[in-house]
């Protein structure tokens, strides 16, 4: 559910978008959507897409890059366990008709582009079943170790998956494989070490480390054959503080 600040954000973006030649109908969509006039906004978006779909690749790439900067490439907003694009800035018709095709085309044209792999992971992964977002994020980081947004997005995806696996604890079971999560969390911690922003790096590290401690505790609990519940086991064995507080 969008928050008031989300509507304020796209309202502020509308005049910025209007300054780009040919992007005015998209600016109209943003302004109308910010005012809560959804049907009118979607009509404006439809008119924009009817034109933008016919643009040359560089023109569509330019819009994709701008969207990526506003939606996907601002890592300070990442640690919220959100893995989907901003639905106000990137509504479903825009995603399917312009953003996904353009990101896919870019990757086909430039398979050694770190930014192409990153944007493909962010957008095409949500629309194409054969997309492997983590693989493409790994590739983006390998091609450009300084790719801060790719590092943050990778860590955030892992955190989102593990958060779901652990959300029933300590009273109920672990969803999925704790051993696999331990592997993924360790990889995420290695990737997070390359994040330049100190506060973000520290927050990711603390969150991922706590999740790793929980996964290790659950793995030890299951291997112990203890007949009690996980909460009691954590109390007796000095489990993760986040579990002892439950």
Q: What angle (nearest 5°) sits at the alpha carbon of residue 51, between those of residues 45 and 57?
A: 115
- Residue closest to 243 by CA, chosen among 207, 218, 208, 209: 218
From 19-28, 72-81, 179-188, the region with the lowest mean pLDDT: 72-81
**Backbone angles phi and psi of 19, in degrees to 5:** -75, -15
Contacts 24+ apart (CB under 8 A), 205-212: 207/79, 207/159, 208/155, 208/158, 208/159, 210/240, 210/242, 211/159, 211/162, 211/163, 211/166, 211/181, 211/185, 212/182, 212/185, 212/186
How many Cβ atoms are within 10 Å of 209's Cβ, its own excluded?
Answer: 14
- 144 CB-contact burial (10 Å; exposed 0-12 / middle 13-18 / buried 19+): middle
Return the minimum-mean-pLDDT range out of 74-83, 120-129, 174-183.
Answer: 74-83
pLDDT at 75: 47
* Comparison of pLDDT for 9 and 29, the residue scoring more: 29
Whether the CB-CB separation of 123 and 100 falls below 8 Å is answered with yes
At 44-101, the pLDDT tens digits run: 999 999 999 999 999 999 999 999 888 765 544 545 545 556 788 999 999 999 999 9
Work out the percent of the chain whose per-residue pLDDT is above 90. Answer: 67
Task: Tell me the mean pLDDT in the region 40-46.
Answer: 96
**Full-prediction pTM beyond 0.95?**
no
Mean per-residue pLDDT of the chain: 89
């Amino acid at each position: 559910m969008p928050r008031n600040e989300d509507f304020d954000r796209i309202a502020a973006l509308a005049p910025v978008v209007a300054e780009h030649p040919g992007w005015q109908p998209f600016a109209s969509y943003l302004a109308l959507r910010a005012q809560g006039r959804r049907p009118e906004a979607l009509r404006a978006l439809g008119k924009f897409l009817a034109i933008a779909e016919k643009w040359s690749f560089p023109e569509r790439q330019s819009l994709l890059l701008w969207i990526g900067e506003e939606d996907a490439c601002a890592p300070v907003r990442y640690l919220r366990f959100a893995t989907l694009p901003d639905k106000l800035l990137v509504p479903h018709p825009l995603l399917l008709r312009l953003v996904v095709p353009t990101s896919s085309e870019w990757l086909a044209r430039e398979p050694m582009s770190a930014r192409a792999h990153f944007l493909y992971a962010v957008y095409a992964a949500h629309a194409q079943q054969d997309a492997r977002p983590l693989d493409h994020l790994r590739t983006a980081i390998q091609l450009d170790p300084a790719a801060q947004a790719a590092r943050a997005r990778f860590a955030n995806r892992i955190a989102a998956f593990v958060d779901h696996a652990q959300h029933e604890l300590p009273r109920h079971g672990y969803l999925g494989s704790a051993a696999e999560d331990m592997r993924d969390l360790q990889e995420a911690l290695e990737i997070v070490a390359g994040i330049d922003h100190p506060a973000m790096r520290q927050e990711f590290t603390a969150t991922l480390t706590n999740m790793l401690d929980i996964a290790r505790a659950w793995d030890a609990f299951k291997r112990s054959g203890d007949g009690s519940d996980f909460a009691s086991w954590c109390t007796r064995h000095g489990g993760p503080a986040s579990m002892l507080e439950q």
